[in-house]
Amino acid sequence: MAPVAPTSQQWVEKYRPRQVKDVVHQEEVVLTLTNALETGNLPHLLFYGPPGTGKTSTALAISHQLFGPELYKTRVLELNASDDRGINVVRTKIKDFAAVAVGPGVSGYPCPPFKIIILDEADSMTEDAQNALRRTMETYSKVTRFCFICNYVSRIIEPLTSRCAKFRFKPLLDNMLSSRIQFICREEGLSLDSEALTTLNHVSEGDMRRAITYLQGAARLYGSSLSSDNIISISGVVSDNVVHSFLQACRTGLFDQAQKAVADIIDEGYPVSQILSQVCYASFSSSSQVDY
């Protein structure tokens, strides 16, 4: 088996925060978890928030820091939407794992006497499966902690949320994104002018993963010095000219013109949802005195 060349690692994985304190902009979580690291006491956790804000990274980091690489395999069970998580799995796999007593810890890590079950993308679990978890969580709370991760807290049933300490992950602010991006640029030897940086912030909308993926994609395609146009073309954002001419066609009030504009956009292959949101944005922000 050939070792993976270091270049073929995705940057998103490469620059994933390894320690809880590296997670930016989520002060409450970081504070609680660093406390937990010191005392070895952890509640059930529920992380929710938009994609790319560090939920999975935090959960992985805390489990790694608590148990270290050796115990990680026996103490942590990670299940995500790519695993089957029907009611049967909850009744068998999760319950079995939760019921097992813990062994002795290893030196150098806190190794508190419980196991962690990480349920990633928990909002895609069925309601039945979630209900089946309720009693399991309480019965085995001595030896097991659960960590739920989801985008929408409303999709998790109330009995589960009330058993957990809830943490909302906020979208990252521009300056935090920028500083991380700049760090990666330095590490990878990229040059990014300030305009491109602003564009990257704008198109990634507080989603760190998206920002890094775009950056890596752009770096692969266009080489080490990147401009704002490169970022735009990689991100699939529709250029303002297209949106503008579409709006112009709509404003004429002639059906045929609008139909032609639509056909053009479809043929160019732009993602329709992207077009809609940008047209919406553009029509609200346009200064002309037209009622919409």
Partner 1 sequence: MLWVDKYRPHALDKVMVHVEEAQQLKQLVAQGDCPHLLFYGPSGAGKKTLIIALLREMYGAGAEKIKVENKPWKIEAGTRKLEVELTTISSNYHVELNPSDAGFQDRYVVQEIIKEMAKSRPLDVAGNKSFKVLVLNEVDRLSKEAQHSLRRTMEKYSSACRLILCCNSASKVIEAVRSRCLNIRISAPSKEEIVKVLQHVAKKEGLQLPLGFAARIALSSNRNLRRAILSLEACKVHQYPFTEDQSVQSADWEQYIVEIASDIVNEQSPKRLFLVRGKLYELLVNCIPPEIVLKRLLLELMKKLDSELKHEVCHWAAYYEHRMQRGQKAIFHLEAFVAKFMSIYKRFLIATFG
Binding interface with partner 1 (CB under 8 A): 1-5, 7-10, 12-13, 51-52, 80-84, 86-89, 120-121, 124, 207, 209-210, 213, 216-217, 220-223, 234-236, 254-256, 259, 266-274
User: Which of 47, 114 has the CB closer to partner 1?
Assistant: 47
The amino acid at residue 87 is: I
CA nearest neighbour of 201 among 182, 224, 220 = 182
The amino acid at residue 267 is: D
146, β-bridge pairs = 117
User: Which of 256, 291 has the CB closer to partner 1?
Assistant: 256
Backbone phi and psi for residue 254, each to the nearest 5 degrees, phi listed first: -95, 130
User: Which of 273, 289 has the CB closer to partner 1?
Assistant: 273
Q: For Cα atoms 131, 171, 163, give the angle at the middle one, nearest 5 degrees.
A: 25
Output the smallest distance, CB 201 to partner 1, in A: 15
User: Which of 93, 163 has the CB closer to partner 1?
Assistant: 93
Output the smallest distance, CB 56 to partner 1, in A: 8
Output the smallest distance, CB 52 to partner 1, in A: 7
Output the smallest distance, CB 111 to partner 1, in A: 25
Output the smallest distance, CB 205 to partner 1, in A: 10
User: Which of 82, 285 has the CB closer to partner 1?
Assistant: 82
Spatial strand order of the sheet with 76-79 comes to 76-79, 115-119, 144-150, 45-48, 165-168
Q: Are 57 and 17 in contact (CB under 8 A)?
A: yes
Output the smallest distance, CB 279 to partner 1, in A: 13
d(CA 55, CA 50) in angstroms, rounded, equals 9
User: Which of 37, 238 has the CB closer to partner 1?
Assistant: 238
Output the smallest distance, CB 174 to partner 1, in A: 18
If 0-12 CB within 10 Å is exposed, 13-18 middle and 19+ buried, where does residue 161 land? Answer: middle
User: Which of 44, 210 has the CB closer to partner 1?
Assistant: 210
User: Which of 76, 234 has the CB closer to partner 1?
Assistant: 234
Kindly tell me the sign of the dihedral angle through the C-alpha atoms of 64, 65, 70, 75.
Answer: negative
Output the smallest distance, CB 78 to partner 1, in A: 9
Report DSSP state, residue 92.
Answer: I
The amino acid at residue 242 is: V
CA nearest neighbour of 20 among 71, 72, 57, 49 = 57
The amino acid at residue 133 is: L
Alpha helices (H) in 157-254, listed in sequence order: 158-161, 174-188, 194-204, 208-222, 228-235, 240-251
d(CA 143, CA 99) in angstroms, rounded, equals 7
